[in-house]
Structure 1
Amino acid sequence: MFVEELAEIRKCEDKADEIKKQSKADARKKIEDAEAEAVKIIEAAETKAKDILDSETDIGQEESQRKYDASMEMSKKEAQGLIEKAKANEDKAVGLITERIVNICGNN
């Protein structure tokens, strides 16, 4: 009877050891699976972040281009206005210069 109980205790200890080993193996597997899932989540987040960055960069570049184009158009209009003002005064300036040259040459 004592031998049978001892054998039963040994059997229970062996079963407990097997359960511990299986639990450790299961825990390792769950950790590996969790790490693999974490890598997938991180990669997906990085991809999404890159997509958002690219999209925002494109939006920023488009807005910058629109502002640049508007600024250039405004500068062209201002330059054209200055040219027109200068042309309006050109005849008067030529007349004044001609008059001075004639007066200087005529007085000599």
Structure 2
Amino acid sequence: MALEAIEEIKKSEAKADEVVNKATIEAKEIVQKAIKDAEKQYYDTLALAKEKTNKLIDDAVKVANKKAEPILSKGKRESEDILNMSKEKKNNAVKLVVERIVKIHGNS
């Protein structure tokens, strides 16, 4: 009877060791899954943040381009007006500049 009790204790100990080993393996698997899930959530959050950032930048660029459009158009018109100025007006402008320089510096 004592031998049977010892055998029963050994079986119980082996079964307990097996349960502990299974629990350890299962705990490691749970930790690995949690790490993978956390990484996925991190990268998903990062991707969403980048997407929102890009949208904000695009919107800001569109607004800036819209505000700059009239200024650019005015500058283009003015430069075209200067390029298309008649030769007579150009000559008059040159004479005016030369006269002012001569008046400032005397008989240069």
Report the count of equivalent residues: 96
- Give distance in 1, aligned partners of 2:70 and 2:89: 29
- Residue 32 in structure 1 maps to residue 32 in structure 2: no
Select the structure that is richer in helix.
1
Quote the sequence identity (%): 8
- Scaled by the length of structure 2, the TM-score of the pair is 0.66
- Give distance in 2, aligned partners of 1:13 and 1:25: 18
- Give distance in 2, aligned partners of 1:48 and 1:100: 69
Gaps of 5+ in 2: 97-108
Q: Which residue of 1 aligns with 2:70?
A: 77
Aligned residue for 1:12, secondary structure, equals: helix
Letter paired with 1:31:
T
The one of the two structures with greater contact order (alpha-carbon pairs below 8 A, sep at least 6) is: 2
Gaps of 5+ in 1: 1-7, 104-108
- Give distance in 2, aligned partners of 1:63 and 1:12: 75
Over aligned residues, Cα RMSD in angstroms? 3.1
- Scaled by the length of structure 1, the TM-score of the pair is 0.66
